[in-house]
Each structure stands twice: as structure tokens, then as C-alpha cells.
């Protein structure tokens, strides 16, 4: 059974940093590209970042230069380092697995971790 | 960036009725479009991909159509568990983008 479990969310002050983690199991992690998707309270979905198994990365313009996606294939884990946080980054952050190579759709999602940026 | 516009914002229907949801892209995405369902407090669930392919385990009452800029998700006969928010998402170009969502509510 595929499982994605996010952790690391919490309350952070504006300008602060946070590192999210996603532990993956139930599939061959190295075979799949992984993503972060976020959802602000009461709002829609926003794709944040994507990483291939060979470490190619993509970012939404709203986070480029502030967020860094990474993965540890040996630990079946995905990470999101978030710096220079602002209130606009307040959201539930989901880790999401891609359907298959080249199909940038998300067939499995974690339960999400809430990041709140506030003073 | 490709903008996806979903309509209507809210659809009020009764169980057993047919639901028709629309997603329009600001430029052609070929057929590279997916639909997701999200219920309160839950992560989204993939329903359809590449416009008309049902994801694993999705009931046949869900169908998708369209290509280019205009897409439709149809639920042939609404079940109580289908009342939720639905999002479309394109994979044609980076950045990946989602539509703003359509809420299907009980009338």
C-alpha cells in the first residue's frame, strides 16, 4: 500500500524557515518523480515544486529562490526547505507522487502538514 | 503560465442528477488535463487523467472529455459521496496549474 506521510509543519514567524519531510513507502521511490502541492486555508490547490529521481527540479514562480526541494532515495524521503516565509505561504502542504514517468498528475497524496506563518 | 478557469463555481444538484463541470484553458493543453475530487479535510483524489482516462478504482459514472482548451467532467448520476469540490489540472506546460475548483453541493 502506497503511503506518504508529511511532517515538519508548524507555526513560524515571517522571514523564518521551515523544513518539511515526506516519508514514502509501498512503492519503488526511485522510479517516481515527486511533488509538493499546497492549499491555503479555504482556497484551491497550488503546485509548488517537482523533483525527478535524477534530481532535476522545477518550482512555481511564487516560491522560486526561496524554497528548495530535495530527496534522499536511500531513505525514501522527500523534503522541502522553505526560507523567507511570508503570510502568503500559510497553507497545508501535501507531498504527492506522480502517476508515472512523464505524466505529471498526482495519484497518491499524503495527509498534508499545516504551515502557519504569523507573528 | 496556463490559466485554468472552472465553471460554475458552485453546482447545486440532487442525488441521481447528472453533473457537468467545465474547465477552460487559456491556451491549448492538448489532452493533458486531469480532474481531482476533494472532500473536506481530505487530500485530493485523482479521478481522470489525459482528459478521458479514469484513474484506478474510479467508478464508471465519472467520465471526462475534451481537448485543446475546453474540457468537461461528467458525473452521470450523483451518489451521496460525490458531493465535493472538483479541480482540473494541466500538465502541458510548466508550471503545472490547477483550476479554481467547482463545488458540487446538495440541492
Q: What is the pLDDT, as a whole number, of residue B67?
A: 97
CB contacts, 8 Å: A46 with chain B: 98
Beta-bridge partners for A115: A10, A91
User: B49 to chain A: which residues are within 8 Å by CB?
Assistant: 99, 103, 105
The nearest CA of chain B is from the CA of A119 a distance in Å of 25
- Phi, psi dihedrals of residue B96, rounded to the nearest 5°: -60, 140
Which of B43, B48, B64, B88 to probe the A interface (max A CBs under 10 A)? B43
Residue of B nearest to A110 (CA): B43
- pLDDT of A102 reads 82
Residue A105 and residue A111 in contact, taking contact as beta carbons nearer than 8 Å: no
Name the closest residue on chain A to residue B100, using Cα atoms. Answer: A44
Q: What is the pLDDT of residues B21-58, one digit of tens each?
A: 999 999 999 999 999 999 999 999 999 999 999 999 99
Return the number of CB contacts < 8 Å for A and B. 54
Percent over 90 (pLDDT), chain A: 94
Is the confidence at residue A119, as pLDDT, over 90? Answer: yes
pLDDT digits (tens, 9 = 90+) for A3-18: 999 999 999 999 999 9
Task: Return the C-alpha torsion angle B49, B58, A39, B27, nearest 10.
Answer: 20
- B95·A58 Cβ contact <8 A: yes
Q: Evaluate if residue A111 carries a pLDDT over 90.
A: yes
* Residues in chain A closer than 8 A to B101 (CB atoms): 44-45
* pLDDT tens column, A59-98: 999 999 999 999 999 999 999 999 999 999 999 999 999 9
State the Cα–Cα distance between residues B13 and B15, nearest whole angstrom.
Answer: 7
| Cell 472538483 sits on residue | B86
Q: Please report residues of A whose CB lies closer than 8 A to that of B45.
A: 109
pLDDT at A54 > cutoff 90 = no
Sorting pLDDT into bands at 50, 70 and 90, what band is B4?
A: very high
Amino acid at each position: 500500500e502506497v503511503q506518504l506521510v508529511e511532517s515538519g509543519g508548524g507555526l513560524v514567524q515571517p522571514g523564518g524557515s521551515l523544513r518539511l519531510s515526506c516519508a514514502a513507502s509501498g512503492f519503488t521511490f526511485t522510479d517516481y518523480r515527486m511533488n509538493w502541492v499546497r492549499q491555503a486555508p479555504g482556497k484551491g490547490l497550488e503546485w509548488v515544486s517537482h523533483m525527478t529521481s535524477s534530481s532535476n527540479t522545477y518550482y512555481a514562480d511564487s516560491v522560486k529562490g526561496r524554497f528548495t526541494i530535495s530527496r534522499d532515495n536511500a531513505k525514501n524521503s522527500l523534503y522541502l526547505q522553505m526560507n523567507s516565509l511570508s503570510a502568503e505561504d500559510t497553507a497545508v502542504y501535501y507531498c504527492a507522487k506522480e502517476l508515472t514517468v512523464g505524466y505529471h498528475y498526482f495519484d497518491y497524496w499524503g495527509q498534508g502538514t499545516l504551515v502557519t506563518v504569523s507573528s | 503560465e496556463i490559466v485554468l478557469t472552472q465553471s460554475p463555481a458552485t453546482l447545486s444538484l440532487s442525488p441521481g442528477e447528472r453533473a457537468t463541470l467545465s474547465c477552460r484553458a487559456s491556451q491549448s493543453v492538448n489532452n493533458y488535463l486531469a480532474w481531482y475530487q476533494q472532500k473536506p479535510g481530505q487530500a485530493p483524489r485523482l479521478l481522470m487523467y489525459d482528459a478521458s482516462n479514469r484513474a484506478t478504482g474510479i467508478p464508471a459514472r465519472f467520465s471526462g472529455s475534451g481537448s485543446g482548451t475546453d474540457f468537461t467532467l461528467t458525473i452521470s448520476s450523483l451518489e451521496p459521496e460525490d458531493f465535493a469540490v472538483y479541480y482540473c489540472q494541466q500538465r502541458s506546460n510548466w508550471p503545472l496549474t490547477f483550476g479554481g475548483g467547482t463545488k458540487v453541493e446538495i440541492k
